[in-house]
Chains A and B, each alone.
Chain A
Amino acid sequence: MLGGLIEANVQANASKHKDFDALTARVGIWVTDIDEGVTLVFESGRLTVYNGLEPRRTITIRAEAETVMSLSNLKIGVMGMPVYYDGVGRGVALKLLQGKLKIDGMMTNVATLNRVTRIFSVQ
């Protein structure tokens, strides 16, 4: 489903397509309450989705299903930055502070994370 979501986003939006073409990263998403996840391997305009967490990930996001859906509902604001001051954004930020959303590799890959968020966002 996550792969399908990204495909639909990229096809429908030129700026997301630009981000998609520029992105090279291995992004793990682990949904903690179903104990399942995927690794999204972005290779400059190509996406391969693997079941489970593959090695050598750039970023790994661990959260409950509802939070993963919230991530895709983050609005994108000025300069292409995710908006953390509206209702959805505050909810995501709170989960991060509470440790209910964990993003390994976040500090060293902020630009990549923002690009992934933009591609993932349906807003």
Chain B
Amino acid sequence: MTVQAFSDEWAAQFKDEVNKSAAYKAAGKGWKWTVGLVVEAEPDKHFPESRGLVMDLFDGDARDIRVGSAGDAQKCDFVITAPYTRWKQVATKELDATKGMLQGKLKLKGDLPTIVRYTKASQELTECTTRVPTQWPDEQ
């Protein structure tokens, strides 16, 4: 079922995909921090308000993934911030998340050595977003 990008339903499907992923289970072993994704508003793309995705990831499992405010996401141990269009590029595999971070297109806050240790896990998380059939607000 196609779901609206960054909605509660999208978060639920994303969580299911993460928990179905054997690759993430292996790569995320030992991870014990929360991750917040801040999706910045782009009113001209029909994404009028910033949103946050709060991910409670633990030892290769997604314990909870929910949509909240940008402020909720900013309270996480690791915070990755980008405008709506960039996140869409990531979720549609137009932009590799690692390259995006190296280029500063995705802004990362948190302990860099830790996140670099889990590069494979973050790549697999990105893969999981691509498996969620998504309706993009700017395409409606």
Contact = CB atoms under 8 A, between A and B. Distances in A.
Contact of B108 (A1, A33, A69, A123): A1
Contacts of B96: 65
B112 A4 contact: yes
Nearest to B117: A122
A69 B98 CA distance: 8
Contact of A73 (B104, B108, B119): B119
A31 interface: yes
A33 B99 contact: yes
A31 B102 contact: yes
B140 interface: no
Interface residues of A, number: 19
A69 B103 contact: no
A123 B116 CA distance: 10
Interface in B78-127: 96, 98-99, 101-104, 108, 111-114, 116-117, 119
A123 B101 CA distance: 20
Given A1-B104, A31-B99, A66-B98, 6 more contacts: A2-B102, A5-B113, A31-B102, A65-B96, A65-B102, A68-B102
